[in-house]
């Protein structure tokens, strides 16, 4: 498979008892915190500067994660704007004793590169190469357009004094 390119990142974490919720599974908040850290690491490495989280979209918890599982976060910058980047993250759990792995979670973070003054700053444009990168790039472009359309509708509704749809 070779080493990841600078727009990709893989991180594996052992799920420990301090991450458990009242039902004995890993707390969703613990996973969200790790997801944010992975998104930051992936985006900041790609941009070569500090980044902040703008939004998190489509967090889907497909199944519970157990204490004792190894959890691998597979992150990729899928799309770049002027200063923003979409980072897609796939979460794969591995039950060490059973030798099984499964897809537990997926989500998309929008991260923004900032300069020393906290103002947004340009990031290098992403050049997808592989078929998977091209597919992710196209899907991210659609998500970006849908987000922009939603924000425009929300702003118009707020100006009109109506609740957003």
Q: What percent of the chain has pLDDT over 90?
A: 79
Predicted local distance difference test score (pLDDT) of residue 76: 96
Residue-range domains of the chain with CATH: 8-124 (3.10.129.10)
Q: Name the pLDDT band for 36 (thresholds 50, 70, 90).
A: very high
Task: Compute the half-sphere exposure of residue 154: CA atoms within 13 Å on the CB side of its CA.
Answer: 6
The structure's pTM equals: 0.87
Say yes or no to pLDDT of 94 above 90.
yes
Q: What is the residue-averaged pLDDT of the chain? A: 92
Q: Name the pLDDT band for 156 (thresholds 50, 70, 90).
A: confident
* CA angle at 138 for the pair 81 and 111, rounded to the nearest 5°: 35
Predicted local distance difference test score (pLDDT) of residue 164: 56
More confident site: 18 or 58: 18
More confident site: 156 or 113: 113
Distance separating alpha carbons of residues 140 and 117, to the nearest angstrom: 28
Distance separating alpha carbons of residues 109 and 84, to the nearest angstrom: 10
């Amino acid at each position: 498979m070779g080493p990841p390119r600078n727009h990709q990142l893989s991180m594996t974490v052992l799920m420990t008892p301090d991450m458990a919720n009242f039902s004995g599974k890993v707390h969703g908040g613990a996973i969200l915190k790790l997801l944010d850290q992975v998104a930051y690491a992936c985006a900041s490495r790609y941009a070569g500067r500090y980044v902040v989280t703008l939004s998190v979209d489509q967090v889907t918890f497909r199944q519970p994660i157990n204490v004792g599982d190894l959890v691998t976060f597979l992150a990729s910058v899928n799309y770049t704007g002027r200063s923003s980047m979409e980072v897609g993250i796939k979460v794969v759990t591995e039950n060490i004793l059973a030798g099984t792995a499964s897809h537990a979670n997926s989500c998309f973070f929008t991260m923004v590169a900032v300069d020393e003054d906290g103002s947004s700053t340009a990031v290098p444009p992403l050049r997808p190469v592989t078929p998977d990168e091209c597919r992710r790039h196209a899907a991210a472009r659609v998500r970006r357009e849908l987000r922009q359309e939603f924000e425009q509708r929300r702003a118009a509704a707020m100006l009109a004094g109506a609740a957003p749809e």
